[in-house]
Structure 1
């Protein structure tokens, strides 16, 4: 058995978190997987994995080795694709993580076309709102809506994200519209998921920080969305999430001079490596073309949202 196949087994064990799960995926028994892992550690003279009855965890040496193994395997895949003139063809399983609501609304509906164009590819799409360690969890790419901090990961901006304060007409009929940030804080109900508190708003006087004071506490952005539409309070929402409600009048922009920082964007994030596997590159290119600098969810909203430039 080659050193490369040992690396593949090691990488699959780390990605699945289990020798038995890795063995099932690769058609090997847990005993064979364990033997191959021991062979790597014996060859390197160090322990790569801490094994317990419940889980497998990387040692410090194992983490560094895993990151380099992933890069090596990606380079091998790229080299084979080049030699066989199939670099444009995506193959295998693409593992993607994305925010729950965005993935449901703007990734899942387009998978049919993507898979039809790439018949040798399957997609494992996991939706969750917390950022995950994409290297440690074995993801090929993460879709993130954020102002990204510097990291060892590579990010490609796919589209702008416009977030605005809004309320239902029922809420406005009962409580009126806030006239200022101070009025919003002192006299109105604000809604946000726990990870979205506080709001950091850009306005005429610079950055304003607003802490949430509403009666609903939740870890779900989708719960906030439904409470907003039901008239419970005012929320800061992305146009990709509430575009239809803004267009049909169910929701109205309040304090239009304020919105979230324009530095927040939609990004594809992937492990830093010299060569991207074809499946990752093609998926990112697909999303970039699908969304673009003027994404489809902002159609018809530029004037309503008072954007000086829809492609900002």
Structure 2
């Protein structure tokens, strides 16, 4: 086994947080990963990881080895990419993490088209709304929506993500249609878990800001479920257009207060900034940028006047 493989094995242990997780990510037996670490420590003549029954940490020598190993592995990957730059066929495994609702609704055609161009590339896709630590999990890139607080990651914007307030015609017929933000407080609101309607701001036609202070009657950690509840007439939801646009188009949901705007978000591709970006990762990100520049239907769909029209009955 080569020295680069030993170093890659060690880096994966350090980043994954243990031999067991590293073995899972490398697709190797735990005993193999452990033996490779022992061989590396023997060759270098220094202990790299201090282990106890409950926890472990990098030794001082281990931290120095980790930093140098990253540089060597990045240089090796960059050299290979430079030598093979004329070979456009991608190989290996591309590990991607993406939000559940967005992935289910919009990633299948992306993956299908990309793998047609690169049939020798394997894809591992993790669809979940939980936060994924790219370094610890060995994920190559993640798609994320909203503000990016992690400065250790690089990001490329892929598409705008706008929000809108929607409710079903049946709900509005029963509860009335709000004509200004203050009336939302009297309605049944649905909320994505982890966010607060108390911090929801709407900007009016004259650029005045309106804050919604109300307690949600239903919270859930999945946008598709909340959208389905809104379609069933349960209440009003602040939804990303990529979830609700088809129901708006079909008249199942009505956009409320269309003259007011909500803060716009964006879809990003994020990846570690401390690493050489593998050719397959760079190629996929470029493909995402090109794809979503032409396929952001949820943003291009404009509700008809009938869908935005306030129904009689006023506010309840």
Q: TM-score, normalised by structure 1?
A: 0.83
Corresponding residue of 1:215: 217
Instruction: Map 1:47-58 onto structure 2 (within 5 A).
Output: 47-48=48-49, 50=51, 52=53
Aligned residues: 302
Q: 1:225 aligns with which of 224, 227, 241?
A: 227
Per mean C-alpha deviation after superposition, the further-off stretch among 284-293 and 203-212 is 203-212
Q: 1:132 to 1:59 in 2, by over 3 A?
A: farther
CA positional deviation for 1:245:
1.1
Q: 2:246 aligns with which of 211, 226, 244?
A: 244
CA positional deviation for 1:3:
2.9
Query: Cα RMSD over matched residues?
Result: 3.2
What is the CA–CA distance in structure 1 between the aligned matches of 2:64 and 2:225, rounded to whole Å?
A: 40
What is the CA–CA distance in structure 1 between the aligned matches of 2:147 and 2:201, rounded to whole Å?
A: 13
Q: In structure 1, the residue corresponding to 2:164 is in which secondary structure? A: strand
What is the CA–CA distance in structure 2 between the aligned matches of 1:105 and 1:88, rounded to whole Å?
A: 29
What is the CA–CA distance in structure 1 between the aligned matches of 2:280 and 2:291, rounded to whole Å?
A: 16
Corresponding residue of 2:196: 197
Corresponding residue of 1:309: none
Q: 1:92 to 1:125 in 2, by over 3 A?
A: same
CA positional deviation for 1:122:
0.8
Q: 1:303 to 1:65 in 2, by over 3 A?
A: farther
What is the CA–CA distance in structure 1 between the aligned matches of 2:64 and 2:261, rounded to whole Å?
A: 41
Q: In structure 2, the residue corresponding to 1:259 is in which secondary structure? A: coil
What is the CA–CA distance in structure 2 between the aligned matches of 1:236 and 1:13, rounded to whole Å?
A: 42
Per mean C-alpha deviation after superposition, the further-off stretch among 146-155 and 279-288 is 146-155
Can you list the C-alpha shifts for 1:70-112, whole angstroms capped at 9, x where unaligned?
5643442232122133463322111111100001111123322
Q: 1:108 to 1:294 in 2, by over 3 A?
A: closer
Q: Which runs of 5+ in 1 are unaligned?
A: 307-312
Per mean C-alpha deviation after superposition, the further-off stretch among 88-97 and 227-236 is 88-97
Q: 1:278 to 1:295 in 2, by over 3 A?
A: same
Instruction: Map 1:4-153 onto structure 2 (within 5 A).
Output: 4-13=4-13, 19=19, 22=22, 30-41=30-41, 43=44, 45=46, 47-48=48-49, 50=51, 52=53, 59=58, 69=69, 72-86=72-86, 88-149=88-149, 151-153=151-153
Q: 1:252 to 1:12 in 2, by over 3 A?
A: same
Instruction: Confirm or deny: 8 A CA contact 1:23 1:33 kept in the other structure.
Output: yes
CA positional deviation for 1:201:
2.2
What is the CA–CA distance in structure 2 between the aligned matches of 1:181 and 1:85, rounded to whole Å?
A: 55
Q: Which runs of 5+ in 2 are unaligned?
A: 309-316
Can you list the C-alpha shifts for 1:132-191, whole angstroms capped at 9, x where unaligned?
211111110010010223512100000111111111111111111112222101x11111
What is the CA–CA distance in structure 1 between the aligned matches of 2:135 and 2:253, rounded to whole Å?
A: 39
Corresponding residue of 2:268: 267
Instruction: Confirm or deny: 8 A CA contact 1:98 1:128 kept in the other structure.
Output: yes
Q: 1:231 to 1:165 in 2, by over 3 A?
A: same
What is the CA–CA distance in structure 1 between the aligned matches of 2:103 and 2:53, rounded to whole Å?
A: 34
Corresponding residue of 1:179: 179
The answer to whether residue 257 in structure 2 is matched with residue 255 in structure 1 is yes
Corresponding residue of 1:291: 292
Q: 1:194 to 1:32 in 2, by over 3 A?
A: closer
